[in-house]
Amino acid sequence: MTVTQLGVVGGGLMGSGIAEVAARRGIDVVVVEATDDAAKAALGRIERSIARGLRSSKLSEAEAEAALGRISVTSDLEALGDRDAVIEAVIEDEATKLAVFAKLDHVVTRADALLASNTSSIPIMKLAMATQRPEYVIGIHFFNPVPVMPLVELVPSLLTSEATQERAHAFAADQLGKHVIKAKDRAGFIVNALLIPYILSAVRMLESGFATAEDIDTGMVDGCAHPMGPLALADLIGLDTTMAVAESLYEEFKEPLFAPPPLLSRMCEAGLLGRKSGRGFYRYD
């Protein structure tokens, strides 16, 4: 059963990217944001990203127009009533995500709709238990920038049905064209359980005065062929999201390597969140 009517809750960096990729693949998408202004901002983000794709000849004028024609934005969660799949992509905060799942359970009328979360680290089991239909809840975790990164992590909970897993796999792989890897429902799944301690180590290196941000990043770009260094990557992910994922990992495993270093906490408190706020480890004008 293919997904033809997708809902995306949250039109930030990840939600707008997911909406764009789905619309470019012919799927009708409704993006729900908290306010009308936020919904407009989400549409602007999608339009700019599609324009970027046009400039680099990844899609034609006609394809761009058709993709935009498949996307609508709203601040009304009830608009998701008829969806056959919904992906939650709101901020990485457990209480916020739990509230979204509880509301989706009431709003989404199709009893067999897939209810997915793009969470990077929050247990899918907790989100599933906020609904009366845990067998339809699954993690479908995308990577930033969504139109560029080929990977999706599929994370079933203990109660996700086989049928839901198969449908989510077919949606991500066949419909969206992503490479799918499967992880158990533990904080951080596969990628962030490896990536976050690496980024935190770079922050500790900077914090201790061991090396400059530029030299740490250059070390990994020129020495290990990473597309960007760990501090530039933290700025891309968002320092608040990096912090939230680190906190989930630390809460789950109590390992010192997952504990957010003080510098990361101070930068988040100061609103230095990376690219999205104009300043993180680097400045973005």
Q: Which helix (H) or strand (E) holds 180?
A: strand 179-182
192 is catalytic: yes
Under the criterion CB under 6 A, does residue 132 sit at the interface with ligand CAA?
no
57: alpha, beta or left? (left if phi > 0; alpha if psi -120 to 50) = left
Per CB under 6 A, the list member of 100, 237, 244, 264 interacting with ligand CAA is 237
Question: How far apart are the C-alpha atoms of 130 and 23, rounded to whole Å?
Answer: 28
Under the criterion CB under 6 A, does residue 176 sit at the interface with ligand CAA?
no
Per CB under 6 A, the list member of 62, 227, 254, 256 interacting with ligand CAA is 227
Under the criterion CB under 6 A, does residue 52 sit at the interface with ligand CAA?
yes
- The DSSP bridge pattern shows strands 137-142 and 114-117 to be parallel
Structure tokens given for 123:
């247990």
Per CB under 6 A, the list member of 114, 233, 239, 243 interacting with ligand CAA is 233
CA-nearest of 21, 163, 174 to 87 is 21
Per CB under 6 A, the list member of 16, 117, 120, 248 interacting with ligand CAA is 120
Under the criterion CB under 6 A, does residue 268 sit at the interface with ligand CAA?
no
238: alpha, beta or left? (left if phi > 0; alpha if psi -120 to 50) = left
Backbone angles phi, psi at 161, to 5 degrees: -75, 160
CA-nearest of 152, 35, 166, 163 to 87 is 152
Q: What is the closest distance, in whole angstroms, from the C-beta atom of residue 141 to ligand CAA in the complex?
A: 6
Binding mask 53-92 for ligand CAA (x = CB under 6 A): ---x-x----------------------------------
Active-site residues: which are they?
A: 120, 141, 153, 192
Binding site for ligand CAA (CB under 6 A): 49, 52, 56, 58, 120, 143-145, 147-149, 192, 195, 227-228, 233, 237, 241, 245
